[in-house]
Amino acid sequence: MTLLHEPDLGTPAVKSDIEVELVIDGMPTRVPAGTSVMRAAALLGTAVPKLCATDSLEAFGSCRLCLVEIDGKKGTPASCTTPCEPGMVVHTQTPKLEKMRRGVMELYISDHPLDCLTCPANGDCELQDMAGVVGLRDVRYGLEGANHLDAPTDDSNPYFSFDESKCIACSRCVRACDEVQGTFALTIEGRGFDSKISPGGTDFMSSDCVSCGACVQACPTSTLQEKTVIQIGIPTRTVETTCAYCGVGCSFKAELKGNELVRMVPLKSGGANEGHSCVKGRFAWGYASHPDRQLEPMVRESITDPWRKVSWNEAITYAATRLKDVQAKYGQQSIGGISSSRCTNEEVFVVQKMVRAAFGNNNIDTCARVCHSPTGYGLKQTFGTSAGTQNFASVAKADVILLIGANPTDAHPVFASRMKRRLRQGAKLIVVDPRRIDLVRTAHIKAEHHLQLLPGTNVAIVNALAHVAATEGLLDEEFIQTRTEEKAFRDWFEFIKKPENSPESVEAISGVPASELRAAARLFATANNSAIYYGLGVTEHSQGSTMVMGMANLAMATGNIGREGVGVNPLRGQNNVQGACDMGSFPHEFSGYRHVSDDTVRHQFEELWGTALQAEPGLRIPNMLDSAIDGEFKGIFIHGEDIAQSDPNTKHVKAALGAMECVIVQDLFLNETAAFAHVFFPGTSFLEKDGTFTNAERRINRVRPIQPPKTGKHEWEIVAELSQALGYPMQYGSSAEIMDEIATSTPTFAGVSFAHLDKVGSVQWPCNEENPVGTPTMHVDGFVRGLGQFMVTPYVATEEKSNRKFPLLLTTGRILSQYNVGAQTRRTENVNWYPEDLLEMHESDAELRGIVDGSFATLSSRVGETVMKVTITDRVPPGVVYSTFHYPTSGANVVTTDYSDWATNCPEYKVTAVELRPSIKPPQEIGMAAADLGLELVNE
Amino acid sequence: MTIVYVPGDSAARSIGADEVAALIAAHAAKAGIDIELRRNGSRGALWLETLVEVDNGDGRFAYGPVTPADVDSLFANNFLDAGEHPLSLGKTESIEWLATQDRVTFTRVGIIEPLSLSQYEAHGGLAGLRTALTHPDVVGEVLASGLRGRGGAGFPAGIKWRTVLEAAGDQKYVVCNADEGDSGTFADRMLMEGDPFTLIEGMAIAGIAVGATYGYIYIRSEYPSAIETMNKAIEVGRLAGVLGKSVLGSDKSFDLEVRAGAGSYVCGEETAMLESLEGKRGMVRPKPPLPAISGLFGKPTVINNVLTLASVPAIMKDGSKSYQDRGIDRSRGTQVFQLAGNIARGGIVETGFGISLSEMITRFGGGTLTGHPVKAVQVGGPLGAYLSADQLDVALDYESLAEAGAMLGHGGIVVFDQSVNMLQQARFAMEFCAAESCGKCTPCRIGAVRGVEVIDRIIAGEEREKNLELLNDLCDLMTEGSLCAMGGLTPLPVRSALVHFPLEEVAK
Amino acid sequence: MSSSSDSLVRMINQIAANSMGAHDPVAAVVKHLHSFWTPKMCSDLKSSNLTSELNAVAAQALAAL
C-alpha cells in the first residue's frame, strides 16, 4: 500500500437527529445540524483552505484561511466555526476570498524560514500545501521584518524535536494536549506577535508532557517533528496494524520507507483509539530492532552450558526429542505449556492446540493467570461470559465512573484520555485505590470521592457500596425482577443487608470513613449511567474473583448493565489478554470458554483435530511449578512470558525451573526465564506478525507485518513444526487459516475472518451470523447466561497480614513510560523517563526507619528481600508502600508471596507484608547476570 | 452639622484630594469646629478637581479646583458657611457645566458617599430593583427603553437579555464588563468608585430579568480602588439583603463577585473576558456560539458594560418611556461621554444622544487646553476613527457616527490640536494593536506588526505608492479577516488618519 | 510431604473459606475442584498426610470427591 492519507474534514463529526439542507458552491447538501460549513464542504469534496483546523480538535478559528462568503450574512465568516444553517448559500471560492487567503498566507510566510527543500516536513507540510493552494507568489512585506527565525530548537524529548522557528502559532499542539490527551502540558506564552508555544516555561522533558505525541501529530508544519522523520525522511508507504503494548489495542499506521519503519501514527478510524496514542505505542518500538533481539534458534544440553546456535530444523527436532524423552520417563502429564497474552490469537490458538493435541494433556495455562483470570471467572459466574461488557466509547455516556484498582493514566493512557474528556464534561469520578493516582486530582479533574482503602479490603468496600444501595431503597427493582435470577437475588439481598456489610462496619476493616462510603454509594446508585472500570488492583488479590462478582452484583443491583454508559469493564493489562483467554489458554476450557468436560464440545474438537482429548482440567502455572519442585513436572514450553521475573516469589519460580529437564523458551530476548532454558526459539515482534489481537473491549484487531519475520519463521510455524516433530500433524498455509479454524470451532468467533476484518476494520465478539459486525455492548436484552446471577460475596481477609516484623503493606503497579517486565520499554528511549524502579513510601514511615528520599532501602517480606530506591511521597498513606516492577535488578517479585486468588490462583501481587531498612548497597543484579552470561557465552 | 465633601475618586486623589481632606479635617479639629467630612465620588468635572463642597444646611456650595495650599485660605474665608473665596463656584447644582447635563446613569455619582446604602436609597436607589421584583416583563421594559450596549458595539440590551431569558440552562450568569481599557475613558471607573450600588442593582435586575442567579464583575487590575469599592459594596449589599438567597426579601436569588483582570486590553472583548473569567488565557472565542446562549462555563450569559447595567435601575424606576424620551432616532437615552486629550474642561458629560461633536467640544470642553484650533478628534477609543476639523458637526449618536465612518465606542472623546502628526497616529494604531493583540488570529497577530513596518517605510518615503497599496490590502484583510474587533477595527484609525489627513500633510 | 501438598492444602482451605456464602458450601467446593483441579491434585491431597490441616468444609468436600 502507498502512504495512507486519512481525510481531514477540518472539524469533528457532530451527532444530531436533525439534518439541515444548504448549498455550497452551487451544490446542495444535507448534514447533521451543528456541522460546520467547513466539514459540510469537505464531505462534498470541497477542501476549504485551512491551517488551524483539523477534525480531531474543536474548531478554533484562528488562521483565517477558511473564510467563506454566505449569502445574506455580512463579512467573511470562518467556515470552521460557522455551523450550517438551513437554506444557507455558501461560496468557498470568490475573488475576494482568494485575495484574503493570499493575504493571510503572505503574513504567515513573512515570518517563516524559506528552507522548504531542506525541511524535514518537505512534502508533508500543510503550510507548504496552503501556500500552493492559495497561489502565493510574492511576500510583499519582505523577509526583513520582525520574525522568529532565530528561535531555538528544543531537542530534549528523545522522540521528537520542537523547532520554534517554524511555528505558526496555530495552537493545534496546545489543543491536542488539552482536548485529545487531557494533560494540559502545553500553553501559549506571551501575546500577539510574541505568542509562543511553551511546555509550561521549561523544556519538554522537564514539563508535564507525557510524550503521547498528539501534539506532533497535530502540528501542521515541521515545528513538532518525529526525530525519525528528521533522520530518515518522509515515509512512502503505510501498513495498518495494532499496538502490542496494553489492552487498549490502539490501531496504528506504520509508516515506512521500504521496509524501514519511520514512524507510528495512530489511525483515526481505529475503533479503540480513534487517532490517539501514548508514548509507548507511538514511539517505543525501537526494541524490535534492538541488538539484544535474538534471531537464531539455540539449544544447550544443560543450563550451565553455553548456548549453541543451530538451524531451525535442529532446534525443533532437539526440542521435540527432549519433550518426548521427558514424557517417556515421567509420563504424559509431566509436561505443559504457557501461552502468551502478548502474542496473536492465532499463535495462542496453536500453542494450546499443541498442548492438548500433541502433548496429549490439558497442562496449558497463560500469563493471564497472573492478571485477569478472576475477571474470566467472576464475570462468567454472574453474567455468563468472561469479558467486559462495553466498548471504550461507552465511557462518553457515563455519568458516574467508579474506578477500582486501576491507574489508567499510567497503564491505559489512551483510554484514560477518553475518560478524562468525559470527566471534564462533568461526569463524576469515584476512585477506589490505596494510592492517590493521578486521576484523583489532575488538570481540570477532581474525583468526587477517593476511597483510600487498605490493600486487600476491596470486597468489604464493594459490599458496603451495595449495602447502602440495598438498605436505602436505591436498587433498580425492575432490572432485578426482569433480568436476574430471583432466588440468587434474594440470597444476596439477605446477605448484603447484614450489618457486617454496612459502611460503619467496613470502616474498621478498610480505613475508609463510613460517611464517604455512603456518599459514594448514593452517587453511584442514583446516577442515570454508572460504569465500573477496574484493573489488576481488583484481580490480583486473594479475593480477586469475589471482588469481580461483587462489582457485577453492584452493577446488576443498580441496573447498570446492558446499554451504553454503564457496565463492568476490565482494563486489560496486555494487548491480547482477552484473546489469549478466548483462545482456550486455560487448562480447564477450550476456546470460547467451554469446559473440557463438556462432551459435545470436546468431541467436536476431537473430530476437528483428529485426536483424543482429555476431559479433565490440566495444571495451572503455580501447580506446574509446585509439581516441578516435587519432581513430577519436568518439561515446559513457555511462549513470550518471563515467569522468572513476572511471577510471584521469584525464588520459588527459579527453583521450579531449575528442577525441570526441558525448558523451551520462545521469546524476542534472552529473558530471565531463558537462563533456565534448554531450547530457545527466537520469536517475532508485532511488526513481523500476521494475525489478530483482541483488546479489553473484545475488539478483534488485525496485526499486519511490515516485514517478513527477522528470524525466518512465523511463531505459529514454529509451534506447528514442533507439533509435527512430536508426532501430531499440524499444518497451516497462513495465519488466516488458523483464524478460519478458530471461527469454525468457536461460536463467538463464527463470523470472523481476516477477509472480514480487512473489510470492516475490526469487530467486537460475539461476531457471528446474528451480529456480523460484532457486539459493542453486551447483555442488552438478556445475559449470555440468560438471567444474571447474583453471587454472595462475603469478605474474607487475606492470610497475608502485616505484623510487627512486617508492618507495612506493599502494593505494586506500573508507570506510563514502562511496560510490565520492561523487556521492550527498557530497550527504548523510554528509560529517559524512568531509569529504575522506585518504591514510594510515606514520609512518616520513612522517618521512622531513617530512610531518606532517593536512598536505597532493603525491602523484605516473608519470602525474600531485595533493594530498591525509595521516593518519599504522600501519594501513599502511612503503612502502605508501592513499587513498580519494570526492572529485573530491583526484583519486586522476589518479595511477593505465593498467596493467590482462591478461585483462579491469580497471585496476590497487590498485598505483601514487608519491612524496609536503609541500605547502602544499590540493587543486586538479580537474574540479569544469568541472562547476560548466556549472551556472553554465545558470543564467545 | 456642617458636611464637607472631598471626593475620594482616584482622579481627585491623584491631584491631592486626600491631602486636602486631611488638611480640612486637621484644621477643623484644631479650630474646634465640628464637621462631618464625607468622601463622595467625583462630579466628573475633572478640570475642577479637587472639587470641595460644603453643605451648611442651605445646600451644597462648591470650591475648586482646591489644592492643599488653598485650605488655609478657605477656612480664613469661612468656606464652612459658604463664604466667598477666589475658588468659589457657588451652588454646585448651579454650575452650568453640570446643570446643563442630563444625569441619569450618573445621577448619584459625586453626590452620595459610595458605600452608604442609606444615602443611596435616599437618592432613589433600589427603587428600580423593587419594581423589577414585581414587574411582569423586565426584559420587555428594558427593550422598550431602547437601551443599547454602552461597551462599544451598541447592541440592544433588551434583545440580548431576551436571548438569555429564552435560552435553556440550569445556570445562567450576568457578567459585567468593567475592563475599561480605551484610552481617554474613565466613566466605568468613576461609577464604580462613586456609586457602586447602582451597578449592583443593575446586575441584580438583569439577573432577575433573565433568570441568572450569579454575576461577575470583571474589573481591570489597573483599577484597584474600583475593585476595593465594589468588593465593599457587595459585602454591604449582602448584609442588607440586597444580594443573596432572597433579594430584598423576595423569592429571587442573586449574588455576585468581583474578578480582577490581568492587564490585557483584549480581555475587554467579551469572549476573551469569558475565557479569562474561566481561568484561561484571555483569548478571543469564535462566535457562534453567542455568549447569550453558551457563555461563561458554557451557560447562557448576559454580558454588558458597566454603563449599560448602571442605566437599568433608572429605567426600571422611572419607566422605559422616561428613558426612551431622551436621545434621537435609534440612539435612545443618555450617553456618558468622556472628554479627554487636549481639552480645557475634561470630564464626564452625560447628556442625551444627538448633541453635535463641536457643541460637546466647545460648550462642555471649552475648546483645546492649548487654545489652538482642533485638528483631529478620536471618538470611541484607540480603535475609533479620527474625525477632522470639518467633520465636527457630526451628531453624537450611533448611526450618525457610523455614517461618518466613525464609531461611538465607549463614549471616549480625545481631542488633538494642530501639533498632532497623523501618520504617527496611524502608526500608533497599528502599534497599539500589535501590543494588545491576543495573538490568536493571523491578521491581527502578524498583520499589526507588519502594519507598523509598512507605515515606517511610508514615513521614510520608501516606495510610498507600493507600500500604501500594501497597507490598504492589509487594512482590508484585518477588517474583514480578523476574529474580533481588536484587529477588525484597527484599520479605522489608520485609514481615517490617512484619508482625512492627506499624506502630504501628515508626512510633515 | 511435598511442595504441592502444602499448596493444595492451602488452596482447598481457601476455596472452602470463600464458599461459605454458597447455599451448600461443600457442594460448591466439590464443584470447584471438579472444574479446576486435575484428578491427580485431588488424589495427591487425599493420599497426603496433611488432611488433618483441612478445615471442616474442605475435609468434607475432599471426602465427597
> What's the rounded Cα separation, in Å, for the pair B359 and B366?
9
Instruction: Say whether pLDDT at A922 is over 80.
Output: no
Q: Which one of B265, B437, B450 makes the best mutation probe of the A interface by having the most chain A beta carbons within 10 Å? A: B450
Within an 8 Å CB–CB cutoff, is residue A446 touching chain B? no
- pLDDT tier, A923 (very low <50, low <70, confident <90, very high otherwise): low
Same domain for B158 and B28: no
Residue A938 has pLDDT above 70, yes or no: no
Nearest to A107 among B286, B288, B446 (CB): B446
Q: How far is A626 from chain C (nearest CA, A)?
A: 5
Between positions 44 and 73 of A, the ones with CB within 8 A of B are: 59-65, 67
Q: How much is the pLDDT for A2? A: 86
Domains and CATH numbers, chain A: 19-134 (3.10.20.740), 153-289 (3.30.70.20), 298-370+576-680+714-745 (3.40.50.740), 373-570 (3.40.228.10), 808-930 (2.40.40.20)
Report the chain A residue with the minimal C-alpha distance to residue B264.
A191
CATH value at residue B133: 3.40.50.11540
One domain, residues B253 and B157: yes
Judgement on whether residues B253 and B293 belong to the same structural domain of the protein: yes
- Last-in-domain residue among B324, B340, B370: B324
Q: Does C7 touch chain A (CB under 8 A)?
A: yes
How far A274 CA lies from chain B's nearest CA (Å)? 26
Sign, CA dihedral A883-A886-A887-A891, equals: positive
Q: Are residues B251 and B206 in the same domain?
A: yes
Looking at the structure of chain B, the number of domains it has is 4
Asked if A619 lies within 8 A of C36 by C-beta distance, the reply is no
> What pLDDT was estimated at residue C1?
42
pLDDT at position C6 is 87
Q: Is the pLDDT of residue A931 over 50?
A: no
CATH number of the domain residue B500 falls in: 1.20.1440.230
Are B439 and A63 a contacting pair at CB < 8 A? no
Which of A330, A547, A586, A623 to mutate: most C Cβ within 10 Å? A623
Establish if B43 belongs to a structural domain.
yes
Give the pLDDT score at B505.
58
From A82, A96, A110, residue closest to B450, measured CB to CB: A110
Q: Are residues B374 and B387 in the same domain?
A: yes
Of chain A, the percentage scoring pLDDT greater than 70 comes to 98
CB proximity C3 to A under 8 Å:
yes
- How many angstroms separate the CA of residue A635 from the nearest CA in chain C? 17
Q: Give the model confidence (pLDDT) of A176-192 as tens digits.
A: 999 999 999 999 999 99
Which residues of chain C neighbour A597 with C-beta distances below 8 Å?
A: 34-35
Q: What is the pLDDT of residue A929?
A: 37
For residue A704, give the C-alpha cell: 499486519
Helix axes C3-17 and A621-629, enclosed angle (nearest 10): 150
Instruction: Kindly state whether residues B379 and B499 are assigned to the same domain.
Output: no
Selection from B132, B489, B106, B156 nearest residue B302 by Cα: B156
| CB spacing of A618 vs C38 below 8 angstroms | yes
Residue A75: list chain B partners with CB under 8 A.
Answer: 480
Helix (H) or strand (E) holding A27: strand A27-32
**Which residues of chain A does B476 touch, with a Cβ-Cβ cutoff of 8 Å?**
99-100, 103
Instruction: Establish if B450 touches chain A: CB-CB under 8 angstroms.
Output: yes
Of B309, B324, B339, the domain-final residue: B324
Helical ranges in A369-483 per DSSP H = 373-382, 408-411, 413-424, 458-471, 477-483
pLDDT tens profile C9-55 = 999 999 999 999 888 999 999 999 999 999 999 999 998 888 889 99
- Low-confidence winner among A8-12, A331-335, A560-564, A801-805 (lowest mean pLDDT): A801-805
**Quick check: C22 contacting A, CB < 8 Å?**
yes
Q: How far apart are CA B234 and CA B214, in angstroms?
A: 13
Based on the domain organization, do B250 and B366 belong to the same domain? Answer: no
Residue A506 belongs to what H/E stretch? Answer: helix A503-510
Question: Pairing state of beta strands A364-366 and A335-339?
Answer: parallel
| CATH number of the domain residue B372 falls in | 3.10.20.600
Report the alpha-carbon distance of residue A226 to residue A241 in Å, rounded.
19
Judged by a CB distance cut-off of 8 A, whether residue A100 touches chain B is yes
Q: If contacts are CB pairs under 8 Å, which of residues 30-49 in chain C contact chain A?
A: 32, 34-41
Give the Å distances, CA to CA, from B298 to A77, A445, B167, B301: 22, 17, 12, 9
Q: Does B91 touch chain A (CB under 8 A)?
A: no
Chains contacting chain A through 3 or more C-beta pairs under 8 A: B, C
Residue closest to B189 by CA, chosen among B415, B386, B48, B340: B340
| A626·C18 Cβ contact <8 A | no
Q: Which long-range contacts (CB under 8 A, 24 or more apart) does A453-456 make?
A: A453/A510, A453/A511, A453/A512, A454/A509, A454/A510, A454/A511, A454/A809, A454/A879, A454/A880, A455/A809, A455/A811, A455/A880, A455/A910, A455/A911, A456/A541, A456/A542, A456/A797, A456/A798, A456/A800, A456/A809, A456/A908, A456/A910, A456/A911
Q: Indicate if the pLDDT at residue A1 is higher than 70.
A: no
Exposed/middle/buried for B472, CB within 10 Å: 0-12, 13-18, 19+? middle
Q: How far is CA A39 from the centre of its chain?
A: 32
Q: Report whether C27 contacts C63 (CB < 8 A).
A: no
Average pLDDT over every residue of A705-710: 96
pLDDT 10s digits, A646-674? 888 889 999 999 999 999 999 999 999 99
Residues A830-844 have pLDDT tens digits of 999 999 999 999 999
Domain carrying residue B196: 117-324
> The C-alpha cell of A883 is what?
513499587
Cβ–Cβ < 8 Å for A506, A517:
yes
**Distance (Å) from the alpha carbon of B449 to chain A's nearest alpha carbon:** 7
Inform me whether the pLDDT recorded for A630 exceeds 50: yes
**Interface contact flag, A100 B476, Cβ < 8 Å:** yes
- Rounded to a whole number of angstroms, the distance from the CA of A791 to the nearest CA of chain C is 8
Q: Are residues B32 and B61 in the same domain?
A: yes
Q: Are residues B193 and B313 both part of a single domain?
A: yes
**Banded model confidence at residue B504, pLDDT cuts 50, 70, 90:** low
Is B442–A107 a contact, with Cβ atoms under 8 angstroms apart? Answer: yes
CB–CB of A902 and C2 under 8 A? no
Query: How far does the CA of residue A761 sit from the closest CA of chain B (Å)?
Result: 36
Nearest residue of A to residue B280, measured between CA atoms: A187
Cα–Cα distance, A585 to A583 (Å, whole number):
6
Indicate the residue of B439, B441, B470 with minimum beta-carbon distance to A188. B439
**What residue has cell string 447533521?**
A32
Residues of chain A with C-beta less than 8 angstroms from the C-beta of B454: 141
Mean pLDDT lowest among A41-45, B186-190, B417-421: B417-421
> Which residue matches cell numbers 489512551?
A414
Structure-block grid coordinates of residue A902? 482462591
Bigger pLDDT: A568 or B499? Answer: A568
**pLDDT tens digits for A791-826?**
999 999 998 888 999 999 999 998 889 988 888 999
The owner of cell 526440542 is A319
pLDDT in tens, A754-787: 999 999 999 999 999 999 999 999 999 999 899 9
Instruction: Summarize the confidence of residues B86-106 as an average pLDDT.
Output: 97
Cβ-defined contact of C18 to A495 (cutoff 8 Å): no
User: Does residue B91 surpass a pLDDT of 70?
Assistant: yes
Residues A750 and A739: their CA atoms lie apart, in Å, by: 10
Would B12 be classed as within a structural domain? yes
* B207 and B63 belong to one structural domain: no
The closest CB to that of A188, out of B281, B477, B480, belongs to: B281
Contact A794 C34 (CB under 8 A): no
Compute φ and ψ for A782, nearest 5 degrees.
-160, 160
* Structural domain contains residue B429: yes
Cβ distance of A902 and C40 shorter than 8 Å: no
Q: What is the mean pLDDT of residues B453-480?
A: 96
- Mark which of B39, B67, B99 sits at the end of a domain: B99
What pLDDT score does A932 carry? 36
Q: Tell me, yes or no, whether B374 lies in a domain.
A: yes
Q: Which residues from B are below 8 Å from A145, CB to CB?
A: 449-450, 453
Cα(B31)–Cα(A737) distance, integer angstroms: 112
Q: Does B110 reside within a domain?
A: no
Question: A195 at the B interface (CB within 8 A)?
Answer: yes
The model's confidence at residue B382, banded by pLDDT at 50, 70 and 90, is very high
- Give the rounded distance of the alpha carbon of A757 from its chain centre: 21
C17 interfaces chain A, CB cutoff of 8 Å? yes
Looking at the structure, tell me whether residues B91 and B230 fall in a common domain. Answer: no
**Whole-number Å distance between alpha carbons of B93 and B291:** 42
Q: Please say if the pLDDT value at position A926 is more than 60.
A: no
A912 pLDDT more than 90:
yes
User: What are the chain A neighbours of B449 within 8 Å (beta carbons)?
Assistant: 145-146, 192-193
Indicate whether B314 belongs to any domain: yes
C-alpha–C-alpha distance, residues A780 and B169, integer Å:
33
Relative to beta strand B334-341, strand B347-352 is: antiparallel
Q: Are the CB atoms for B501 and B388 separated by under 8 Å?
A: yes
Distance CA A801, CA A812 (A): 16
Does the residue B112 lie in any domain?
no
Identity of the amino acid at A829: E
Q: A141 and B454 in contact by Cβ < 8 A?
A: yes
C-alpha distances in Å from residue A412, one per residue of A573, B113, B420, B497, C33 = 8, 62, 65, 60, 35
B495 and B362 within one domain:
no
Give the integer Cα–Cα distance in Å for A80 and B157. Answer: 29
Confidence of residue B387 (pLDDT cuts 50, 70, 90): very high
pLDDT in tens, A853-900: 999 999 999 989 999 999 999 999 999 999 998 888 877 788 888 899
**How many CB contacts within 8 angstroms connect chain A with chain B?**
106
Please report the pLDDT score of residue A939 as a whole number: 31
Does B423 have pLDDT greater than 70?
yes
How far, in Å, CA of B90 to CA of B71, rounded? 17
Burial per residue of B131-140, b for 16 or more beta-carbon CB atoms within 10 angstroms, e otherwise: bbbebeebbe
**Main-chain phi, psi angles of B158, to 5 degrees:** -65, -40
Instruction: Determine the average pLDDT of the residues in B165-177.
Output: 96
With a cut of 90, say whether residue B297 has pLDDT above it. Answer: yes
C-chain residues within 8 Å CB-CB of A630? Answer: 2-4
Chain A nearest CA to B188, separation (Å): 26
Which chains does chain B touch, 3 or more C-beta pairs < 8 A? A
Whether A417 and chain B come into contact, CB under 8 Å, resolves to no
Q: Please give the average per-residue pLDDT across B180-205, as a whole number.
A: 97
Give yes or no for a contact between A434 and A453, defined as CB atoms under 8 angstroms apart: yes
Distance from CA of A588 to the nearest CA of C (A): 6
CA distance A502 to B452: 73
pLDDT in tens, A338-397: 999 999 999 999 999 999 999 999 999 998 888 899 999 999 999 999 999 999 999 999
Strands of B60-63's sheet in order across: B35-38, B2-5, B52-55, B60-63, B88-91
How far is B149 from B410, CA to CA, in rounded Å?
9
Residues B3-15 pLDDT 10s: 999 999 999 999 9
Residue B363 lies in a domain: yes
What are all long-range contacts of A767-774, with beta carbons under 8 Å and residues at least 24 apart? A767/A700, A774/A698, A774/A699, A774/A700
pLDDT at A940 > cutoff 50: no
pLDDT at C2: 61
Q: What does A133-161 look like in DSSP terms, one character per residue? A: HHT----TT-S-SS--TT--EE--SSSEE
